[in-house]
């Protein structure tokens, strides 16, 4: 009989944190599990954004194939933003490829919930609970558990105590819900993603290493709770894959890429207008979060004027290479789209994607006065997630990336 498959995600958990917390006894169950399989670094998508990365996990495809390049995109032939959701994914997720029964809980970028054989509760960003749940009949159950898709991060901006309280409340409800479907429903594959971890690490990364920090124990308790959950999974009974979609690290300073582009003369804004409608005919390039650079190409955008794309790309590269903060280079790598993307939808991809050196959080807000700023976040994404598989190393690529997860899943099933 083939084993059932369990996939457990911890959004944003870096390899190093999972290693350190299991070595230091904060996550004893993960430590036990870790020693009985393969525990590796997992390469995130480029850029390392949850919506892109999880879409690559569930489809096994490159962004050029599945069509998700970020949390926001630009509507063709306009400067208006769109927010791609599950319906914009051009490839099938694994639960639509056979007739097994699936339980899919809280995977980001799966809103609105579509029909499947089983149960799906969308992860962030989900606007309306009714559209986030399939089948609808389970909604009263979720209400009973006080189920909530995401923590309200606005609370953190007002009061960090409230935010921390909510993080644990949402985690408890998530675990109750997961336990319910684990036990009640018949399934072949069960996938659950914990996403509060991403919120926790954005606001309280500084509490992680600093024992004197007011929230140090809270930070550790969050991972202790997840570890308790891990302790309930009998590893011998299942094919088990655990992973994160990207890693995290300390944030030193935020970098406003559009402000830099303005200062360098690539981006010229008409301040009478709003948002990206401010882009004028003099603009050569602009950026969308986190640091996806689009050329203002003639024929592609209303005020497009770039014809010699290679020249602009070279000029941009030179400029970005010169960007420094306190003597440190900000940009580690500049990818051209052809270097990282392939597939039918590469035409929608940004022309360049920037990767930052450690500590620099690249942002694309418009109309910021200063290039360098410090906000409330103390942690930022980095490309180094983790992967655990309860199988030998030879079942896993040497340097696995998020696009490999489905292949690994298939490999385990065929054992
Ligand atoms: Zn994430």
Residue range 252-291, pLDDT digits in tens:
999 999 999 999 999 999 999 999 999 999 999 999 999 9
Other CB atoms within a 10 A radius of the CB of residue 375 amount to 11
Give the per-residue pLDDT at 154. Answer: 80
Q: Is the pLDDT of residue 37 over 80?
A: yes
Antiparallel, parallel or unpaired: β 331-336 and 352-356: antiparallel
Average pLDDT of span 34-47: 97
Please report how the helices 216-231 and 15-23 are oriented relative to each other, as an axis angle in degrees rounded to 10: 80
Q: Is the pLDDT of residue 415 over 80?
A: no
Architecture field, domain 253-373: 2-Layer Sandwich (3.30)
* φ, ψ at 237 (rounded to 5°): -90, -20
CA of 198 to the centre of ligand 1 (A): 6
Residue with the bigger pLDDT between 155 and 263: it is 263
Mean pLDDT of all residues belonging to the chain: 95
Q: Is the pLDDT of residue 16 over 70?
A: yes
Antiparallel, parallel or unpaired: β 384-389 and 38-43: antiparallel
385 by Cβ neighbours in 10 Å (0-12 / 13-18 / 19+) ranks as: buried
CA of 367 to the centre of ligand 1 (A): 26
Measured in whole angstroms, how far is the alpha carbon of residue 298 from the centre of its chain?
32
Query: What residues does 252 pair with on adjacent strands?
Result: none
Taking only the tens place, the pLDDT of each residue in 333-357 is 999 999 999 999 999 999 999 999 9
Asked if 98 and 70 touch (Cβ cutoff 8 Å), the reply is no
CA of 271 to the centre of ligand 1 (A): 33
Percent of the chain with pLDDT over 70: 100
Percent of the chain with pLDDT over 90: 92
Residues around ligand 1, an ion, CB closer than 5 A: 11-12, 50, 198, 245
Q: Give every CB contact of residue 336 below 8 A, 6+ residues apart in sequence.
A: 313, 351, 352
CA of 13 to the centre of ligand 1 (A): 8
CA of 275 to the centre of ligand 1 (A): 26
Taking only the tens place, the pLDDT of each residue in 115-144 is 999 999 999 988 888 999 999 999 999 999
CA of 379 to the centre of ligand 1 (A): 12
Architecture field, domain 4-251+379-413: 3-Layer(aba) Sandwich (3.40)
Q: How confident is the model at residue 1 (pLDDT cuts 50, 70, 90)?
A: low
Q: Is the pLDDT of residue 376 over 80?
A: yes
CA of 122 to the centre of ligand 1 (A): 14
CA of 1 to the centre of ligand 1 (A): 34
Q: Which of 126, 124, 127, 129 is nearest to 142 (CA)?
A: 129
CA of 171 to the centre of ligand 1 (A): 16
Ordered by start, the domain boundaries in the chain are 4-251+379-413, 253-373
CA of 139 to the centre of ligand 1 (A): 25
Asked if 285 and 393 touch (Cβ cutoff 8 Å), the reply is no
Q: Which of 246, 253, 250 is nearest to 213 (CA)?
A: 250
């Amino acid at each position: 009989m083939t084993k059932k498959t369990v996939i457990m995600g911890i959004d944003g958990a870096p390899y190093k944190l999972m290693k350190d917390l299991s070595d230091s006894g904060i996550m004893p169950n993960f430590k036990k599990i870790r020693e009985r399989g393969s525990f590796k670094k997992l390469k995130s998508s480029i850029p390392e954004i949850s919506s892109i990365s999880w879409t690559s996990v569930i489809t096994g495809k490159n962004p050029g194939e599945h069509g998700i390049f970020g949390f926001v995109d630009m509507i063709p032939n306009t400067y208006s933003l769109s927010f791609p959701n599950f319906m914009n994914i051009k490839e099938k997720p694994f639960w639509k490829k056979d007739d097994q029964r699936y339980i899919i809980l809280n995977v980001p970028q799966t809103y609105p919930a579509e029909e499947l054989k089983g149960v799906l509760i969308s992860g962030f960003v989900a606007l309306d609970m009714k559209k986030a749940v399939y089948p609808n009949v389970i909604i009263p159950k979720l209400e009973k558990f006080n189920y909530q898709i995401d923590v309200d991060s606005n609370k953190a901006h007002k009061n960090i105590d409230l935010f921390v309280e909510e993080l644990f409340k949402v985690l408890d409800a998530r675990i109750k819900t997961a336990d319910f479907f684990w036990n009640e429903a018949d399934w072949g594959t069960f996938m659950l993603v914990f996403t509060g971890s991403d919120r926790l690490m954005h606001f309280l990364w500084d509490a992680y290493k600093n024992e004197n920090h007011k929230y140090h124990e809270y930070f550790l308790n969050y991972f202790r709770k997840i570890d308790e959950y891990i302790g309930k999974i009998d590893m011998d009974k299942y094919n088990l894959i655990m992973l994160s979609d990207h890693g995290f690290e300390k944030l030193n300073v935020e970098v406003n890429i559009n402000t830099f582009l303005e200062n360098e003369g690539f981006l010229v804004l008409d301040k009478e207008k709003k948002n990206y409608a401010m882009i004028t005919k003099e603009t050569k390039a602009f950026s969308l979060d986190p640091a996806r650079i689009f050329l203002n190409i003639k024929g592609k955008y209303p005020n497009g004027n770039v014809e010699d794309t290679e020249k602009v790309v070279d000029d941009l590269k030179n400029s970005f290479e010169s960007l420094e903060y306190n003597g440190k280079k900000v940009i580690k790598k500049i990818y051209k789209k052809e270097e990282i993307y392939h597939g039918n939808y590469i035409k929608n991809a940004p022309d360049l994607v920037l990767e930052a050196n450690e500590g620099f959080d690249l942002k694309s807000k418009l109309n910021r006065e200063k290039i360098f700023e410090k906000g409330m976040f103390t942690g930022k994404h980095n490309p180094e997630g983790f992967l655990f598989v309860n199988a030998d190393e030879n079942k896993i690529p040497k340097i696995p990336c998020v696009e490999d997860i489905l292949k690994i899943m298939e490999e385990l099933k065929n054992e």
